[in-house]
């Protein structure tokens, strides 16, 4: 068996594409790693290389079979389509839900992006892959700073809400808060009491964000929304 039979021009092209996928997807992974996200450098690197490998398999892996079975029909897009749908399971593992707070959505999206990068690199679209990597990095780095600047204008407060089961519900309270531009981040039921008539009173604590310039608005909330007992 001669090694030169396997080290042809197509083989070097495959090696180069996997190398490019490792570099570009690894760069995105480093950004996630530096910010201590659940899926970091190695995860993004492996997803990108694996996607590139699947694309290469789709393009080159069945050449001998097609030559032997000339009348057979082959769709090279089938394998990449399964990569895109299957990567959702991996991305879903990075999403953490705690109360009303959801974390990891950006990391899940970046994993989906590097899967796409691996596929287009595997198909030889290097310029598009490089341009996409630059755009993704700009979004992850600079938009994160913009969001931090916007959050700096907000103040985190707590709200004590009392809901009587025969009068309203916690969903109705949230709807009443919407006109005041109050963002609810977390809702915790602290306790509940049942009276002799069978009526239940629920006690909630809301974690809310308000604009730091609109503290006077909280006084209106206390007056207008009877379920709101205290803001602190």
CATH class of 154-231: alpha beta
Supply the DSSP string of 13-43, one letter for each residue.
Answer: HHHHHHHHHHHHHHHHHHHHHHTT-SS-HHH
194: left (phi over 0), alpha (psi -120 to 50) or beta: beta
> What is the structure's pLDDT at 117?
92
| pLDDT one-digit tens code per residue, 137-159 | 888 888 777 766 665 556 767 77
Tell me the per-residue pLDDT of 71-86, one tens digit each, with 9 for 90 and over.
777 777 788 888 888 8
The span from the CA of 96 to the CA of 213, in Å, is 31
Rounded Cα–Cα distance for residues 105 and 91 (Å):
8
User: Considering the entire predicted model, what is its pTM?
Assistant: 0.60
Confidence of residue 100 (pLDDT cuts 50, 70, 90): very low
Please determine, for residue 212, whether its predicted confidence score (pLDDT) is greater than 70.
no
What is the percentage of the chain residues whose pLDDT exceeds 90?
11
**Cα-based angle 195, 177, 95 (whole degrees, multiple of 5):** 95
3-state secondary structure of 231: strand
Short-list 65, 92, 89, 84, CA closest to 122: 84
What is the per-residue pLDDT for 20? 92
Residue 53 belongs to what H/E stretch? helix 41-60
Q: Domain ranges in the chain?
A: 3-151, 154-231
Measured distance CA(73)–CA(66) in Å, rounded: 8
Q: What is the pLDDT of residue 97?
A: 60
Contacts of residue 31, defined as CB under 8 A and 6 or more positions apart, other chains included, come to 137, 140, 141
């Amino acid at each position: 068996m001669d090694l030169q039979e396997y080290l042809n021009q197509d083989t070097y092209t495959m090696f180069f594409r996997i190398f490019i996928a490792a570099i570009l997807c690894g760069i995105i992974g480093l950004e996630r790693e530096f910010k201590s996200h659940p899926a970091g450098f190695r995860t993004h690197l492996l997803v990108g290389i694996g996607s590139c490998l699947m694309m290469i398999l789709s393009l080159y892996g069945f050449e001998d079979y097609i030559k032997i079975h000339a009348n057979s029909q082959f769709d090279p897009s089938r394998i990449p389509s399964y990569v895109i749908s299957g990567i959702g399971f991996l991305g879903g593992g990075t999403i953490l839900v705690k109360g009303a707070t959801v974390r990891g959505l950006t990391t899940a999206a970046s994993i989906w992006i590097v899967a796409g990068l691996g596929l287009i690199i595997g198909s030889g679209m290097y310029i598009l892959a490089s341009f996409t990597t630059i755009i993704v990095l700009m979004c992850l780095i600079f938009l994160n700073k913009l969001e931090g600047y916007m959050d700096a204008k907000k103040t985190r407060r707590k709200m004590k809400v009392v809901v009587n089961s025969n009068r309203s519900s916690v969903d109705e309270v949230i709807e009443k808060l919407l006109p005041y531009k109050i963002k609810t981040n977390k809702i915790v039921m602290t306790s509940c009491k049942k009276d002799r008539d069978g009526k239940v009173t629920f006690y909630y604590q809301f974690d809310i964000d308000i604009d730091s310039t609109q503290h006077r608005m909280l006084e209106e909330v206390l007056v207008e929304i009877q379920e709101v007992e205290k803001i602190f």
